A and B are shown apart, each in its own frame.
Chain A
Amino acid sequence: MLKPKLLTKTLQQTNTDGINGTMLFNSDGSLIASSGDRDKNRTIAAITANIWQTYQKKSNDPLINSDLNVVMINCKEGKVIIKEVCKMFLCVHSGNDVPTGILKEKLISLAKFLEPSLSKIVI
């Protein structure tokens, strides 16, 4: 089971060195927990969940034929990166000043950290 407050605290710890928001959401784009500007997080979650689904659908295409691992989006105002963890989605976003490699490393280490707990939530 999820401990909402504890989960939020854990996500908050990632929000350093220029990272503006960290969140966990489900496949329909609803936030499960987040830290940072909540309204912004909500919007990013909704949009990126949609983007993920769209690409995931294409993953069966013989030309691609591979599951999505991460999605990185570079925007004018910042960067967003998403990864699937136990049928949920973990996402961090930052300004443009944060190197993409660092953003990705942070996301992956957070995903590794959360995975053992999240995998116990069988739905």
Chain B
Amino acid sequence: MNPTKRKILLIGRSGSGKTSMRSISWEFNFKFMDCGGQDSYLENFFGSQRDRVFRNVEVLIYVFDVTRKDTEKDLNYLESSVFALSEFSPESKIFCLIHKVDLIPEEERENVIESYKEEIMKFLSKFSEILENPLKVTCFGTSIWNETLFLAWSKIVYSLIPKIQLLEEHLHSFCQICDAEEVVLFERSTFLVISASSSKTYQDIHRFEKISKFIKHFKLSCNKAHSPFQSMEIRNRFFTAFVDSFTANSYILVIISDPQIENAAISLNIQVARNHFENLVQKTRGNDDNALVI
């Protein structure tokens, strides 16, 4: 199994924000094909190198810069990409990031994103008659200055995991069996959220991103000290949190708020679940050598 086989194409014009975006995902298991973005360079990708670039693509991410007014040009690039994909990677998924939304006044943001979405969808709808496979397109408004980019990338990772529903069901049972308040699965290298199960509703919808950032930093410090991060337990008045290495490509976070529950019981359950999920992942992967293994 070689995760680098999976290709993610990150396309966008020069200055649209691709390079700065990669800080959230540069550790990604997959190989990024960043098409530079300079207009002449970009044109090259739709010319002579077309088949090399668009073969074996799992996901195409097109980055729109909201501050640019000439959207037609972007739509044309997107059109060429979609055509190329339909030829060389017809099963691939397409994500459009409407990027730098922080530069739009907050009260207009929603509307601007919506109208972008509409424009993109309308533009792409004409393909439904031409192409054999229905297009799978999802749009997100994003910015490097808030949680939106983290959420969008988490959704992208989510879409890449085979049989994710099955995995979620099992995570949900795990949460219930453990009497946990919340259980979260993070992708190992990026610490993006793969899946979560909660037994109550939380006020803070940005908590995953905060936790992710926090553990990522801690992990980096551990690496600097040449003692790689394995797990941690945090206990305060309100809860106990366990972060532990889980399957080959994931970490698990378990939150327990019942003070009667002993830490050793949870550690034991995580150990047992680890084997269970590892088997589950093996099974769901089946013959698909390219699948993202969590």
Give A contacts to B, CB under 8 Å.
1-5, 7-8, 25-26, 30-34, 121-123
Contact = CB atoms under 8 A, between A and B. Distances in A.
A31 B264 contact: yes
B272 A123 contact: yes
Contact of B269 (A1, A5, A30, A31): A1
Given A32-B264, A123-B268, A123-B272, A5 B177 contact: no
Contact of A2 (B263, B268, B275): B268
Contacts of A5: 179, 258, 260-261
A1 B264 contact: no
Contacts of B268: 2, 26, 32, 121, 123
B265 interface: yes
B258 A32 contact: no
Interface string B179-206: 1000000000000000000000000000
B265 A33 contact: yes
A30 B177 CA distance: 20
A4 B272 contact: no
B265 A32 contact: yes
Contact of A122 (B260, B261, B265, B272): B272
A-B interface, 3 closest residue pairs, ranked by CB to CB distance from nearest:
A30-B264, A4-B261, A31-B262
B178 interface: yes
Which of B263, B264, B266, B272: most chain A CB closer than 10 A?
A: B264
Contacts of A25: 264
A32 B261 CA distance: 8
B262 to A, nearest CB: 5
A122 B265 CA distance: 14
Contacts of A31: 262, 264
Given A2-B269, A5-B179, A32 B275 contact: no
Given A4-B258, A4-B262, A32-B262, 5 more contacts: A4-B261, A4-B266, A121-B268, A123-B271, A123-B272
A97 to B, nearest CB: 28
26 contacts: A1-B177, A2-B177, A2-B265, A2-B268, A2-B269, A2-B272, A3-B177, A3-B179, A4-B178, A4-B258, A4-B260, A4-B261, A4-B265, A4-B266, A5-B179, A5-B258, A5-B260, A5-B261, A7-B265, A8-B260, A26-B264, A31-B264, A33-B262, A121-B272, A122-B275, A123-B271
Nearest to A123: B271
A1 B262 contact: no
B229 interface: no
Contacts of A123: 268, 271-272
A17 B231 CA distance: 42
Interface in B236-260: 258, 260
A4 B179 contact: yes
A45 to B, nearest CB: 10
A34 B261 contact: no
B235 to A, nearest CB: 13
Nearest to B266: A4
Nearest to B273: A1
